[in-house]
Amino acid sequence: MTNPRKKIILNEILFWKQNKLLPEHYCDFLAALYAEGSDIEELEPVHHKQAILPAEKRRLLLVIASICIAMITLLSIYFTISSLMIILTVVVGIAAVILFLTAFRMARKNDLLAPIFHLLGAILLFSMSIRIYTTYFNGNNIALFCLIAANCGVWLWSGLKMKLLYFTVSGVLGLLALISYYIINLL
């Protein structure tokens, strides 16, 4: 066991002892066992929240990044300045791609946060598509139809590739809604 891990475990044992989660003699035994004869008194007891593991820090950082990306998306929807709009569109597009790749990697690890990242990435991609339509193709219904169909196709492909039922259903329902809308407007 590496030294940082020992320190985390010893700090946890001291936390248990301070908060009387285990009897004192159990905590002393465990501390002596993990300290392997070194001085236990040199460790300063830390608060429980200071013993966050690197994986938990990464998850927290990804959640904060996702919230920031969602806020940038909302800001990009409400801004109408064209030079700022192009910059925000590019930033949000890159963020959506990064979020999709991160969510794909996290889904392979069966992480509990993966569905949240999937949904945030899908919402960002869809909002980017709508923003591209309103900025460059405003009034062209064929472009809107193609962009929404492309989004539904990406959702369907992602659902089939990653075996995610909510993306598969979303893609199929979206494509069915588009096809039915197209057929109804032809009549």
Is residue 65 a contact partner of residue 115, using CB atoms and an 8 Å limit?
no
With tokens 């909002």, the residue in question is 127
Tokens of 106: 């996290």
Q: Whole-angstrom Cα distance, residue 139 to residue 100? A: 29
Q: Three-state SS for 36?
A: coil
Chain segment 93-127, per-residue pLDDT in tens: 777 777 767 766 766 665 666 777 778 778 878 88
Q: Whole-angstrom Cα distance, residue 71 to residue 89? A: 13
Is residue 158 a contact partner of residue 174, using CB atoms and an 8 Å limit?
no
Radius of gyration of the chain (CA): 25
* pTM for the full predicted model: 0.49
Residue 86 is which amino acid?
I
Contacting residues for 72 by C-beta, under 8 A, at least 6 apart: 88, 91, 92, 95
pLDDT values of the chain reduced to their tens digit, one per residue, 187 residues: 457 777 778 788 888 788 777 788 877 888 887 777 665 555 555 454 544 556 666 677 777 777 777 676 666 666 655 566 677 677 777 777 777 677 667 666 656 667 777 787 788 788 888 888 888 888 888 898 999 999 999 999 989 998 889 999 999 999 999 999 989 988 7
Could you tell me the residue ranges of all domains in the chain? 3-50, 54-136, 139-187
Contacting residues for 8 by C-beta, under 8 A, at least 6 apart: 51, 53
